[in-house]
Chains A and B, each alone.
Chain A
Amino acid sequence: MSFIELQDVTFFYESDEESALKTRPAVDGVSFCVEKGEVVAIIGHNGSGKSTLAKLMNGLLEPDKGEVLVDGVSTKDKKRIFDIRSKVGIVFQNPDNQMVATIIEDDVAFGPENLGLDSKEIRSRVDWALKSVGMSEHAKGTPFKLSGGQKQRIAIAGVLALKPQVMILDESTAMLDPLSRNEIMEVALRLVREENMTLINITHFVDEAMEADKIIVMNDGKVFMQGGKEVLLQDEKLASIGLEAPLAVRVKNMLNGVGYDLPEVLTDEELADCLCR
Protein backbone atom coordinates (compact mmCIF):
# COMPACT_ATOMS: atom_id res chain seq x y z
CA MET A 1 0.00 0.00 0.00
CA SER A 2 1.14 3.52 -0.76
CA PHE A 3 2.30 5.71 2.11
CA ILE A 4 0.08 8.65 1.16
CA GLU A 5 -3.03 8.06 -0.85
CA LEU A 6 -5.49 10.70 -2.06
CA GLN A 7 -8.79 9.27 -3.21
CA ASP A 8 -10.94 11.62 -5.26
CA VAL A 9 -10.31 14.50 -2.88
CA THR A 10 -12.36 17.69 -3.17
CA PHE A 11 -11.92 20.70 -0.90
CA PHE A 12 -13.74 24.04 -0.67
CA TYR A 13 -12.39 26.98 1.29
CA GLU A 14 -15.96 28.20 1.84
CA SER A 15 -17.31 26.09 4.66
CA ASP A 16 -20.85 27.33 4.06
CA GLU A 17 -22.53 24.82 1.77
CA GLU A 18 -24.58 27.30 -0.23
CA SER A 19 -21.73 29.60 -1.08
CA ALA A 20 -19.53 26.58 -1.69
CA LEU A 21 -21.82 25.60 -4.53
CA LYS A 22 -21.09 28.90 -6.23
CA THR A 23 -17.34 28.94 -5.67
CA ARG A 24 -14.86 26.73 -7.41
CA PRO A 25 -13.26 24.08 -5.19
CA ALA A 26 -9.59 24.71 -4.34
CA VAL A 27 -8.95 21.02 -4.94
CA ASP A 28 -11.26 19.15 -7.26
CA GLY A 29 -11.41 15.36 -7.47
CA VAL A 30 -7.70 14.77 -7.02
CA SER A 31 -6.32 11.25 -6.75
CA PHE A 32 -2.70 10.17 -6.54
CA CYS A 33 -0.35 8.03 -4.46
CA VAL A 34 3.05 8.68 -2.93
CA GLU A 35 5.27 5.68 -2.19
CA LYS A 36 7.86 5.47 0.58
CA GLY A 37 11.26 6.87 -0.36
CA GLU A 38 9.93 8.59 -3.46
CA VAL A 39 10.71 12.14 -4.55
CA VAL A 40 7.52 13.74 -5.82
CA ALA A 41 7.20 17.19 -7.35
CA ILE A 42 3.88 18.99 -7.49
CA ILE A 43 4.03 21.89 -9.90
CA GLY A 44 1.46 24.45 -10.98
CA HIS A 45 1.02 28.19 -11.11
CA ASN A 46 -0.39 30.32 -8.27
CA GLY A 47 -3.88 29.33 -7.17
CA SER A 48 -3.73 25.88 -8.77
CA GLY A 49 -4.41 24.23 -5.41
CA LYS A 50 -0.97 22.84 -4.73
CA SER A 51 -0.52 24.42 -1.28
CA THR A 52 -3.98 23.24 -0.29
CA LEU A 53 -2.83 19.72 -1.17
CA ALA A 54 0.05 20.08 1.30
CA LYS A 55 -2.32 21.03 4.10
CA LEU A 56 -4.65 18.20 3.19
CA MET A 57 -1.81 15.69 3.36
CA ASN A 58 -1.00 16.32 7.02
CA GLY A 59 -4.49 16.93 8.25
CA LEU A 60 -4.37 20.71 8.66
CA LEU A 61 -7.36 20.68 6.33
CA GLU A 62 -9.97 17.99 6.05
CA PRO A 63 -11.31 17.03 2.60
CA ASP A 64 -14.97 17.84 1.89
CA LYS A 65 -15.24 14.84 -0.36
CA GLY A 66 -12.99 11.82 -0.76
CA GLU A 67 -10.32 10.57 1.62
CA VAL A 68 -6.67 11.27 2.39
CA LEU A 69 -4.90 8.23 3.83
CA VAL A 70 -1.49 8.53 5.48
CA ASP A 71 0.09 5.18 6.29
CA GLY A 72 -3.40 3.71 6.10
CA VAL A 73 -4.98 6.22 8.50
CA SER A 74 -7.57 8.73 7.31
CA THR A 75 -6.87 12.38 8.14
CA LYS A 76 -10.50 12.56 9.26
CA ASP A 77 -9.59 10.36 12.21
CA LYS A 78 -9.35 13.07 14.89
CA LYS A 79 -7.79 10.76 17.45
CA ARG A 80 -4.77 9.96 15.32
CA ILE A 81 -4.25 13.36 13.78
CA PHE A 82 -1.04 13.99 15.76
CA ASP A 83 0.25 10.61 14.62
CA ILE A 84 -0.24 11.80 11.06
CA ARG A 85 1.34 15.19 11.67
CA SER A 86 4.43 13.67 13.21
CA LYS A 87 4.77 11.43 10.14
CA VAL A 88 4.20 14.16 7.57
CA GLY A 89 6.05 17.43 8.19
CA ILE A 90 5.57 20.62 6.19
CA VAL A 91 8.14 23.35 5.61
CA PHE A 92 6.29 26.51 4.60
CA GLN A 93 7.24 29.35 2.32
CA ASN A 94 8.23 32.10 4.72
CA PRO A 95 10.82 30.95 7.26
CA ASP A 96 10.14 33.99 9.47
CA ASN A 97 6.54 32.97 10.01
CA GLN A 98 7.21 29.42 11.15
CA MET A 99 9.65 30.06 13.98
CA VAL A 100 8.32 30.26 17.49
CA ALA A 101 11.42 30.93 19.58
CA THR A 102 14.18 33.52 19.68
CA ILE A 103 16.96 30.95 20.09
CA ILE A 104 17.53 28.54 17.22
CA GLU A 105 17.79 25.34 19.24
CA ASP A 106 14.67 26.28 21.23
CA ASP A 107 12.81 26.63 17.96
CA VAL A 108 13.97 23.25 16.67
CA ALA A 109 12.93 21.74 20.01
CA PHE A 110 9.36 23.04 19.67
CA GLY A 111 8.07 19.99 17.78
CA PRO A 112 9.52 17.26 20.01
CA GLU A 113 8.48 19.28 23.08
CA ASN A 114 4.93 19.14 21.77
CA LEU A 115 5.20 15.35 21.52
CA GLY A 116 5.96 15.24 25.23
CA LEU A 117 9.32 13.49 24.87
CA ASP A 118 11.82 13.59 27.72
CA SER A 119 14.51 16.23 27.69
CA LYS A 120 17.40 13.89 26.81
CA GLU A 121 15.59 12.58 23.73
CA ILE A 122 14.67 16.11 22.69
CA ARG A 123 18.27 17.22 23.06
CA SER A 124 19.58 14.38 20.90
CA ARG A 125 16.94 14.99 18.23
CA VAL A 126 17.67 18.73 18.13
CA ASP A 127 21.41 18.14 17.84
CA TRP A 128 20.86 15.57 15.10
CA ALA A 129 18.42 17.78 13.17
CA LEU A 130 20.70 20.81 13.28
CA LYS A 131 23.64 18.66 12.19
CA SER A 132 21.67 17.21 9.28
CA VAL A 133 21.03 20.69 7.87
CA GLY A 134 24.56 21.87 8.68
CA MET A 135 23.56 24.51 11.20
CA SER A 136 25.05 23.08 14.41
CA GLU A 137 27.35 26.02 15.00
CA HIS A 138 24.39 28.40 15.13
CA ALA A 139 22.45 26.39 17.73
CA LYS A 140 22.63 29.02 20.47
CA GLY A 141 22.22 32.01 18.15
CA THR A 142 19.15 33.93 17.05
CA PRO A 143 17.62 33.44 13.59
CA PHE A 144 17.38 37.19 12.89
CA LYS A 145 20.93 37.58 11.68
CA LEU A 146 20.83 34.65 9.28
CA SER A 147 20.23 34.62 5.53
CA GLY A 148 16.95 33.39 4.05
CA GLY A 149 18.50 30.06 3.07
CA GLN A 150 19.92 29.51 6.56
CA LYS A 151 16.58 30.38 8.15
CA GLN A 152 14.84 27.91 5.88
CA ARG A 153 17.39 25.23 6.84
CA ILE A 154 16.43 25.84 10.46
CA ALA A 155 12.77 25.50 9.53
CA ILE A 156 13.67 22.15 7.94
CA ALA A 157 15.51 21.14 11.12
CA GLY A 158 12.39 22.06 13.09
CA VAL A 159 10.39 19.60 11.02
CA LEU A 160 13.15 16.95 11.03
CA ALA A 161 13.23 16.94 14.83
CA LEU A 162 9.77 15.34 14.70
CA LYS A 163 11.41 12.46 12.76
CA PRO A 164 8.78 12.50 10.00
CA GLN A 165 8.74 9.92 7.24
CA VAL A 166 7.52 12.41 4.68
CA MET A 167 8.71 15.97 4.29
CA ILE A 168 6.61 18.39 2.25
CA LEU A 169 8.34 21.52 0.99
CA ASP A 170 5.47 23.92 0.38
CA GLU A 171 7.11 26.47 -1.94
CA SER A 172 9.92 26.57 0.60
CA THR A 173 12.36 27.93 -1.95
CA ALA A 174 10.08 30.58 -3.44
CA MET A 175 11.45 33.46 -1.37
CA LEU A 176 15.10 32.51 -1.75
CA ASP A 177 17.86 33.56 -4.12
CA PRO A 178 19.08 30.91 -6.63
CA LEU A 179 22.08 29.90 -4.50
CA SER A 180 20.01 29.37 -1.36
CA ARG A 181 17.47 27.50 -3.46
CA ASN A 182 20.09 25.00 -4.58
CA GLU A 183 21.31 24.74 -1.00
CA ILE A 184 17.84 23.82 0.29
CA MET A 185 17.27 21.31 -2.52
CA GLU A 186 20.64 19.68 -1.78
CA VAL A 187 19.79 19.34 1.91
CA ALA A 188 16.36 17.90 1.11
CA LEU A 189 17.66 15.40 -1.45
CA ARG A 190 20.45 14.31 0.87
CA LEU A 191 17.87 13.58 3.57
CA VAL A 192 15.95 11.43 1.12
CA ARG A 193 19.08 9.39 0.40
CA GLU A 194 20.54 9.18 3.89
CA GLU A 195 17.45 9.02 6.09
CA ASN A 196 15.30 7.16 3.57
CA MET A 197 12.71 9.93 3.71
CA THR A 198 9.97 10.69 1.24
CA LEU A 199 10.05 14.17 -0.25
CA ILE A 200 7.13 16.04 -1.73
CA ASN A 201 8.30 19.26 -3.31
CA ILE A 202 5.57 21.75 -4.11
CA THR A 203 7.00 24.41 -6.35
CA HIS A 204 6.49 26.63 -9.34
CA PHE A 205 10.11 26.21 -10.45
CA VAL A 206 9.93 23.55 -13.13
CA ASP A 207 13.67 22.88 -12.94
CA GLU A 208 13.29 21.69 -9.30
CA ALA A 209 10.89 19.04 -10.59
CA MET A 210 13.67 17.49 -12.70
CA GLU A 211 15.04 15.82 -9.54
CA ALA A 212 11.75 14.03 -8.90
CA ASP A 213 10.73 10.42 -9.55
CA LYS A 214 7.11 11.43 -10.00
CA ILE A 215 5.71 14.71 -11.25
CA ILE A 216 2.17 15.93 -10.69
CA VAL A 217 1.06 19.02 -12.59
CA MET A 218 -1.86 20.88 -11.03
CA ASN A 219 -4.18 23.31 -12.80
CA ASP A 220 -7.40 24.86 -11.45
CA GLY A 221 -7.54 22.41 -8.56
CA LYS A 222 -7.32 19.37 -10.83
CA VAL A 223 -4.49 17.03 -11.74
CA PHE A 224 -3.50 18.20 -15.22
CA MET A 225 -0.74 15.70 -15.89
CA GLN A 226 0.91 13.00 -13.82
CA GLY A 227 3.86 10.78 -14.51
CA GLY A 228 7.64 10.47 -14.61
CA LYS A 229 10.13 12.90 -16.09
CA GLU A 230 8.47 12.57 -19.52
CA VAL A 231 5.84 15.04 -18.24
CA LEU A 232 8.42 17.80 -18.44
CA LEU A 233 9.12 17.10 -22.09
CA GLN A 234 5.64 18.22 -23.14
CA ASP A 235 6.54 21.79 -23.83
CA GLU A 236 3.27 22.88 -25.48
CA LYS A 237 1.00 21.22 -22.95
CA LEU A 238 2.84 22.90 -20.07
CA ALA A 239 2.77 26.25 -21.86
CA SER A 240 -1.01 25.97 -22.28
CA ILE A 241 -1.42 26.31 -18.48
CA GLY A 242 1.22 29.00 -18.08
CA LEU A 243 4.16 26.82 -17.09
CA GLU A 244 7.52 26.69 -18.85
CA ALA A 245 9.23 23.42 -19.69
CA PRO A 246 12.91 23.22 -18.65
CA LEU A 247 15.24 25.40 -20.72
CA ALA A 248 16.93 22.42 -22.42
CA VAL A 249 13.58 21.06 -23.61
CA ARG A 250 12.56 24.43 -25.05
CA VAL A 251 15.90 24.95 -26.82
CA LYS A 252 15.77 21.45 -28.28
CA ASN A 253 12.24 21.98 -29.58
CA MET A 254 13.21 25.31 -31.13
CA LEU A 255 16.25 23.79 -32.82
CA ASN A 256 14.23 20.85 -34.08
CA GLY A 257 11.71 23.37 -35.40
CA VAL A 258 14.34 24.88 -37.66
CA GLY A 259 15.46 21.59 -39.09
CA TYR A 260 17.77 19.96 -36.54
CA ASP A 261 17.09 16.43 -35.38
CA LEU A 262 18.01 16.28 -31.69
CA PRO A 263 16.93 13.42 -29.38
CA GLU A 264 14.91 14.04 -26.19
CA VAL A 265 16.91 15.93 -23.54
CA LEU A 266 15.93 17.18 -20.08
CA THR A 267 18.90 18.81 -18.39
CA ASP A 268 21.25 21.51 -19.62
CA GLU A 269 24.15 19.02 -19.52
CA GLU A 270 22.32 16.55 -21.76
CA LEU A 271 21.58 19.33 -24.22
CA ALA A 272 25.20 20.46 -24.24
CA ASP A 273 26.33 16.86 -24.85
CA CYS A 274 23.89 16.56 -27.76
CA LEU A 275 25.00 19.79 -29.34
CA CYS A 276 28.69 18.93 -29.05
CA ARG A 277 28.26 15.65 -30.86
Chain B
Amino acid sequence: MREISLGQYYPTGSLIHKLDPRTKLLITIAYIVMIFFIDTFVGFGLVFIGLMATVLISKIPVTKILKSLKAIIFLLVFTVLMTLLFYGGDKSEVVLSWWIFTFYKQQLIDCGLIACRLFFMVLGPTMLTFTTTPVQLTDGMQSLLKPLALIKVPVHLLAIIMSITLRFIPSLSEETDKIINAQKSRCADFESGNIFKRAKAMIPILIPLLTSSIRRAEELACAMDSRCFKDAKNRTRMNKLKFGWFDPVCLILFCALFFVVLWLKFNFLPFVDLTSLGWIV
Protein backbone atom coordinates (compact mmCIF):
# COMPACT_ATOMS: atom_id res chain seq x y z
CA MET B 1 0.00 0.00 0.00
CA ARG B 2 2.91 2.32 0.76
CA GLU B 3 4.12 1.95 -2.79
CA ILE B 4 0.80 3.04 -4.22
CA SER B 5 1.86 6.55 -5.11
CA LEU B 6 4.59 5.24 -7.34
CA GLY B 7 1.94 3.20 -9.17
CA GLN B 8 3.53 0.30 -10.96
CA TYR B 9 6.55 2.33 -12.02
CA TYR B 10 9.43 -0.04 -12.71
CA PRO B 11 12.71 1.87 -12.93
CA THR B 12 15.34 0.50 -15.31
CA GLY B 13 16.73 3.80 -16.62
CA SER B 14 16.08 2.75 -20.22
CA LEU B 15 15.61 5.06 -23.20
CA ILE B 16 11.84 4.65 -22.87
CA HIS B 17 12.01 5.72 -19.22
CA LYS B 18 14.02 8.77 -20.20
CA LEU B 19 11.53 9.84 -22.87
CA ASP B 20 9.74 13.09 -22.20
CA PRO B 21 6.44 12.30 -20.46
CA ARG B 22 4.66 14.49 -23.01
CA THR B 23 5.86 12.27 -25.84
CA LYS B 24 4.70 9.19 -24.00
CA LEU B 25 1.32 10.72 -23.15
CA LEU B 26 0.69 11.90 -26.71
CA ILE B 27 1.70 8.55 -28.18
CA THR B 28 -0.47 6.66 -25.70
CA ILE B 29 -3.54 8.77 -26.44
CA ALA B 30 -3.04 8.46 -30.21
CA TYR B 31 -2.34 4.74 -29.75
CA ILE B 32 -5.76 4.19 -28.15
CA VAL B 33 -7.42 6.00 -31.04
CA MET B 34 -5.37 3.93 -33.47
CA ILE B 35 -6.50 0.64 -31.94
CA PHE B 36 -10.09 1.47 -32.98
CA PHE B 37 -9.03 1.81 -36.60
CA ILE B 38 -7.55 -1.66 -36.79
CA ASP B 39 -9.75 -4.42 -38.12
CA THR B 40 -7.23 -6.83 -39.60
CA PHE B 41 -4.81 -9.26 -38.00
CA VAL B 42 -2.05 -7.75 -40.11
CA GLY B 43 -2.72 -4.43 -38.37
CA PHE B 44 -2.54 -6.00 -34.94
CA GLY B 45 0.60 -7.83 -35.99
CA LEU B 46 2.24 -4.48 -36.75
CA VAL B 47 1.14 -3.06 -33.40
CA PHE B 48 2.47 -6.18 -31.72
CA ILE B 49 5.89 -5.71 -33.33
CA GLY B 50 5.89 -2.07 -32.24
CA LEU B 51 4.95 -2.93 -28.68
CA MET B 52 7.50 -5.76 -28.48
CA ALA B 53 10.20 -3.34 -29.57
CA THR B 54 9.05 -0.92 -26.83
CA VAL B 55 9.11 -3.67 -24.22
CA LEU B 56 12.59 -4.79 -25.30
CA ILE B 57 14.01 -1.26 -25.19
CA SER B 58 12.34 -0.55 -21.84
CA LYS B 59 14.11 -3.60 -20.30
CA ILE B 60 11.02 -4.42 -18.25
CA PRO B 61 10.76 -8.18 -17.66
CA VAL B 62 7.97 -9.69 -19.79
CA THR B 63 6.69 -11.71 -16.82
CA LYS B 64 6.16 -8.46 -14.90
CA ILE B 65 4.03 -7.08 -17.73
CA LEU B 66 2.02 -10.29 -18.12
CA LYS B 67 1.34 -10.30 -14.37
CA SER B 68 -0.14 -6.82 -14.56
CA LEU B 69 -2.44 -8.05 -17.36
CA LYS B 70 -3.93 -10.73 -15.10
CA ALA B 71 -6.74 -8.41 -14.16
CA ILE B 72 -8.14 -8.29 -17.68
CA ILE B 73 -8.16 -12.04 -18.32
CA PHE B 74 -11.70 -12.33 -16.98
CA LEU B 75 -12.86 -9.43 -19.12
CA LEU B 76 -11.16 -10.97 -22.15
CA VAL B 77 -12.74 -14.41 -21.67
CA PHE B 78 -16.13 -12.86 -20.96
CA THR B 79 -16.09 -10.73 -24.11
CA VAL B 80 -14.95 -13.61 -26.28
CA LEU B 81 -17.68 -15.89 -24.89
CA MET B 82 -20.32 -13.23 -25.48
CA THR B 83 -19.28 -12.82 -29.10
CA LEU B 84 -19.29 -16.60 -29.60
CA LEU B 85 -22.74 -17.06 -28.09
CA PHE B 86 -24.54 -14.05 -29.48
CA TYR B 87 -23.30 -13.67 -33.00
CA GLY B 88 -25.46 -11.90 -35.56
CA GLY B 89 -23.06 -11.20 -38.42
CA ASP B 90 -22.10 -12.93 -41.63
CA LYS B 91 -23.15 -16.62 -41.44
CA SER B 92 -22.12 -17.80 -44.92
CA GLU B 93 -19.19 -20.10 -44.14
CA VAL B 94 -19.61 -22.77 -41.46
CA VAL B 95 -16.35 -23.89 -39.90
CA LEU B 96 -17.53 -26.19 -37.15
CA SER B 97 -20.91 -27.54 -36.16
CA TRP B 98 -21.28 -29.39 -32.87
CA TRP B 99 -24.42 -30.18 -30.82
CA ILE B 100 -26.39 -26.94 -30.70
CA PHE B 101 -23.38 -24.76 -31.55
CA THR B 102 -22.45 -23.64 -35.02
CA PHE B 103 -19.35 -21.54 -35.57
CA TYR B 104 -18.92 -19.41 -38.65
CA LYS B 105 -15.68 -18.22 -40.16
CA GLN B 106 -16.47 -14.53 -39.78
CA GLN B 107 -17.57 -15.16 -36.18
CA LEU B 108 -14.19 -16.59 -35.22
CA ILE B 109 -12.37 -13.76 -36.96
CA ASP B 110 -14.47 -11.16 -35.11
CA CYS B 111 -13.79 -12.92 -31.82
CA GLY B 112 -10.07 -12.84 -32.42
CA LEU B 113 -10.16 -9.17 -33.40
CA ILE B 114 -12.09 -8.19 -30.30
CA ALA B 115 -9.70 -10.13 -28.06
CA CYS B 116 -6.73 -8.45 -29.77
CA ARG B 117 -8.33 -5.02 -29.45
CA LEU B 118 -8.90 -5.44 -25.71
CA PHE B 119 -5.47 -6.88 -25.11
CA PHE B 120 -3.63 -4.13 -26.94
CA MET B 121 -5.88 -1.45 -25.49
CA VAL B 122 -4.70 -2.36 -21.99
CA LEU B 123 -1.10 -3.15 -22.86
CA GLY B 124 -0.29 0.33 -24.22
CA PRO B 125 -1.26 2.40 -21.16
CA THR B 126 0.32 -0.29 -18.97
CA MET B 127 3.65 0.39 -20.65
CA LEU B 128 3.13 4.10 -19.95
CA THR B 129 2.65 3.55 -16.21
CA PHE B 130 5.54 1.09 -16.07
CA THR B 131 7.97 3.62 -17.49
CA THR B 132 6.67 6.93 -16.08
CA THR B 133 6.30 8.09 -12.46
CA PRO B 134 3.03 9.75 -11.44
CA VAL B 135 4.94 12.98 -10.87
CA GLN B 136 6.27 12.92 -14.43
CA LEU B 137 2.78 12.18 -15.70
CA THR B 138 1.40 15.15 -13.77
CA ASP B 139 4.16 17.39 -15.16
CA GLY B 140 3.48 16.13 -18.67
CA MET B 141 -0.26 16.67 -18.39
CA GLN B 142 0.26 20.13 -16.96
CA SER B 143 2.46 21.05 -19.88
CA LEU B 144 0.09 19.57 -22.47
CA LEU B 145 -2.92 21.29 -20.93
CA LYS B 146 -1.19 24.69 -20.91
CA PRO B 147 -3.37 26.07 -23.72
CA LEU B 148 -6.38 25.66 -21.41
CA ALA B 149 -4.89 28.37 -19.18
CA LEU B 150 -5.97 30.80 -21.91
CA ILE B 151 -9.60 30.09 -21.07
CA LYS B 152 -8.73 30.51 -17.37
CA VAL B 153 -8.54 26.86 -16.39
CA PRO B 154 -6.12 26.81 -13.38
CA VAL B 155 -3.87 24.16 -14.90
CA HIS B 156 -0.93 24.82 -12.55
CA LEU B 157 -3.10 24.58 -9.49
CA LEU B 158 -4.64 21.34 -10.72
CA ALA B 159 -1.16 19.90 -11.18
CA ILE B 160 -0.19 20.81 -7.60
CA ILE B 161 -3.45 19.40 -6.24
CA MET B 162 -2.83 16.18 -8.12
CA SER B 163 0.73 15.76 -6.88
CA ILE B 164 -0.28 16.46 -3.27
CA THR B 165 -3.08 13.93 -3.59
CA LEU B 166 -0.61 11.32 -4.77
CA ARG B 167 1.70 12.28 -1.93
CA PHE B 168 -0.96 11.78 0.75
CA ILE B 169 -2.46 8.47 -0.39
CA PRO B 170 0.15 6.37 1.45
CA SER B 171 -0.01 8.56 4.58
CA LEU B 172 -3.77 8.26 4.75
CA SER B 173 -3.75 4.54 4.11
CA GLU B 174 -1.27 4.13 6.94
CA GLU B 175 -3.50 6.24 9.14
CA THR B 176 -6.54 4.12 8.22
CA ASP B 177 -4.64 1.01 9.31
CA LYS B 178 -3.80 2.66 12.62
CA ILE B 179 -7.40 3.69 13.26
CA ILE B 180 -8.73 0.24 12.34
CA ASN B 181 -6.28 -1.35 14.76
CA ALA B 182 -7.14 1.14 17.49
CA GLN B 183 -10.86 0.44 17.09
CA LYS B 184 -10.30 -3.31 16.88
CA SER B 185 -8.32 -3.22 20.12
CA ARG B 186 -11.42 -1.70 21.68
CA CYS B 187 -13.49 -4.64 20.41
CA ALA B 188 -14.96 -3.01 17.30
CA ASP B 189 -16.27 -5.66 14.90
CA PHE B 190 -15.85 -5.04 11.19
CA GLU B 191 -16.18 -8.58 9.89
CA SER B 192 -19.54 -9.96 10.94
CA GLY B 193 -23.15 -9.03 10.24
CA ASN B 194 -24.95 -8.12 7.05
CA ILE B 195 -23.87 -5.41 4.68
CA PHE B 196 -25.76 -2.66 6.55
CA LYS B 197 -24.20 -3.63 9.85
CA ARG B 198 -20.77 -3.65 8.30
CA ALA B 199 -21.31 -0.28 6.65
CA LYS B 200 -22.39 1.10 10.02
CA ALA B 201 -19.28 -0.37 11.62
CA MET B 202 -17.17 1.74 9.25
CA ILE B 203 -18.36 5.00 10.83
CA PRO B 204 -15.88 4.81 13.75
CA ILE B 205 -13.13 4.57 11.12
CA LEU B 206 -14.35 7.26 8.77
CA ILE B 207 -14.94 10.01 11.31
CA PRO B 208 -11.45 9.96 12.91
CA LEU B 209 -9.98 9.65 9.43
CA LEU B 210 -11.88 12.70 8.27
CA THR B 211 -10.90 14.84 11.25
CA SER B 212 -7.27 13.83 11.02
CA SER B 213 -7.24 14.56 7.28
CA ILE B 214 -8.56 18.03 7.91
CA ARG B 215 -5.92 18.57 10.60
CA ARG B 216 -3.23 17.33 8.23
CA ALA B 217 -4.50 19.62 5.48
CA GLU B 218 -4.29 22.58 7.82
CA GLU B 219 -0.75 21.76 8.88
CA LEU B 220 0.28 21.21 5.28
CA ALA B 221 -1.21 24.56 4.29
CA CYS B 222 0.82 26.22 7.03
CA ALA B 223 4.01 24.47 5.94
CA MET B 224 3.39 25.41 2.30
CA ASP B 225 2.72 29.03 3.24
CA SER B 226 5.87 29.24 5.30
CA ARG B 227 7.82 27.85 2.36
CA CYS B 228 6.73 30.85 0.30
CA PHE B 229 3.91 29.30 -1.70
CA LYS B 230 2.11 32.24 -3.33
CA ASP B 231 0.28 30.98 -6.35
CA ALA B 232 0.88 28.10 -8.65
CA LYS B 233 1.39 30.32 -11.69
CA ASN B 234 4.72 31.96 -11.01
CA ARG B 235 6.47 28.84 -9.86
CA THR B 236 9.46 27.51 -11.75
CA ARG B 237 10.50 23.88 -11.92
CA MET B 238 13.76 22.22 -10.98
CA ASN B 239 13.42 19.47 -13.58
CA LYS B 240 12.28 21.13 -16.75
CA LEU B 241 10.73 18.82 -19.31
CA LYS B 242 13.14 18.42 -22.19
CA PHE B 243 12.85 16.64 -25.52
CA GLY B 244 15.85 14.44 -26.23
CA TRP B 245 16.97 12.88 -29.50
CA PHE B 246 14.89 9.79 -28.88
CA ASP B 247 11.60 11.72 -28.62
CA PRO B 248 11.34 12.74 -32.30
CA VAL B 249 12.52 9.25 -33.32
CA CYS B 250 9.68 7.68 -31.36
CA LEU B 251 7.12 10.18 -32.61
CA ILE B 252 8.15 9.61 -36.25
CA LEU B 253 8.09 5.83 -35.87
CA PHE B 254 4.69 6.00 -34.24
CA CYS B 255 3.32 8.30 -36.94
CA ALA B 256 4.57 5.85 -39.57
CA LEU B 257 2.76 3.01 -37.79
CA PHE B 258 -0.41 5.08 -37.55
CA PHE B 259 -0.17 5.89 -41.26
CA VAL B 260 0.12 2.22 -42.20
CA VAL B 261 -2.84 1.38 -39.95
CA LEU B 262 -4.95 4.07 -41.61
CA TRP B 263 -3.87 2.84 -45.02
CA LEU B 264 -4.87 -0.72 -44.15
CA LYS B 265 -8.25 0.56 -43.07
CA PHE B 266 -9.07 3.07 -45.82
CA ASN B 267 -6.86 1.85 -48.71
CA PHE B 268 -6.24 5.39 -49.89
CA LEU B 269 -2.93 5.00 -51.74
CA PRO B 270 -3.59 5.15 -55.51
CA PHE B 271 -0.61 3.06 -56.61
CA VAL B 272 -1.13 -0.01 -54.41
CA ASP B 273 -4.58 -1.55 -54.21
CA LEU B 274 -5.03 -3.52 -51.02
CA THR B 275 -8.13 -5.31 -52.21
CA SER B 276 -5.97 -7.17 -54.71
CA LEU B 277 -4.02 -8.62 -51.78
CA GLY B 278 -6.88 -10.68 -50.42
CA TRP B 279 -4.91 -12.20 -47.52
CA ILE B 280 -4.57 -8.87 -45.75
CA VAL B 281 -8.30 -8.34 -45.37
B219 at the interface (CB under 8 A from A): yes
Q: B19-27, B84-92, B223-231: which lies at the A interface? A: B223-231
A115 proximity list for chain B (CB < 8 A): 228
User: How many residues of chain A get a CB closer than 8 Å to chain B's CBs?
Assistant: 40
Q: Is A15 an interface residue (CB 8 A)?
A: no
Among the listed stretches B38-46, B100-108, B164-172, B203-211, which one makes contact with chain A, having 4 or more residues with CB under 8 Å of it?
A: B164-172
Q: Does B275 contact A (CB under 8 A)?
A: no
In the assembled complex, 21 residue pairs joining A and B whose CB atoms fall closer than 8 Å, in A order, are: A60-B225, A85-B226, A85-B228, A89-B227, A90-B226, A92-B219, A97-B216, A97-B219, A98-B219, A101-B135, A101-B163, A101-B167, A103-B135, A106-B239, A110-B229, A114-B228, A123-B238, A142-B5, A144-B2, A144-B170, A158-B227
The verdict on B194 contacting chain A, using a C-beta distance below 8 Å, is no
Q: Is B58 an interface residue (CB 8 A)?
A: no
B192 at interface, CB cutoff 8 A = no
**Bound state CA distance, A106 and B216, in angstroms?**
20
In the bound complex, residues from chain A placing their C-beta under 8 Å from that of B2 are: 144-145
Q: Is B237 within 8 A of A113, CB to CB?
A: yes
Give Cα A90 to B228, complex, Å: 11
* Pair A97/B235 contact, Cβ less than 8 Å: no
B164 CB, min distance to chain A CBs, angstroms: 6
Of listed B2, B227, B230, B236, residue having the most chain A CB within 10 A? B227
Which residues of chain B come closer than 8 Å to A58, judged between CB atoms?
226
Find chain A residues with CB under 8 A from B166 CB: 102
Contact across chains for A159 and B238 when beta carbons are under 8 A apart? no
Interface pairs A-B: 6 shortest CB-CB: A98-B223, A109-B238, A97-B219, A111-B227, A122-B238, A114-B228
Contact of B235 among A86, A101, A114 (CB under 8 A): A114
Which residues of chain A are within 8 angstroms of B163 by Cβ–Cβ distance?
100-102
Interface centre among A109, A114, A126, A162 (most CB of B within 10 A): A114
A93 CB, nearest partner CB in chain B, Å: 8
- Inside 8 A of A90's CB, which chain B residues have their CB? 223, 226
Residues of A close to B133: CB separation below 8 A: 102-103
Any B CB within 8 A of the CB of A250? no
> Which residues of A have CB within 8 Å of B164?
100
Task: Report the minimal beta-carbon distance from B176 to chain A, rounded to whole angstroms.
Answer: 14
Distance in Å: Cβ of A143 to nearest Cβ of chain B = 9
Q: Which residues of A contact B224 (CB under 8 A)?
A: 100, 110
Nearest CB to that of B5 among chain A residues?
A102
A60 partner, pick from B6, B222, B237, B238, beta carbons under 8 A:
B222
A100 touches B167 (CB 8 A): yes
Q: Of A96, A98, A103, A118, which is within 8 A of B236 by CB?
A: A118
Complex interface: chain A residues within 8 A of B239 (CB): 106, 119
B238 touches A113 (CB 8 A): yes
Question: A122 to B5, alpha carbons, bound, how many Å?
Answer: 24
Residue of A nearest to B215 (CB): A97
Is there an interface contact between B240 and A119, defined as CB atoms closer than 8 Å?
Answer: yes
Interface bits B239-276 vs A (CB < 8 Å: 1, else 0): 11000000000000000000000000000000000000
A234 sits at the interface (CB 8 A):
no
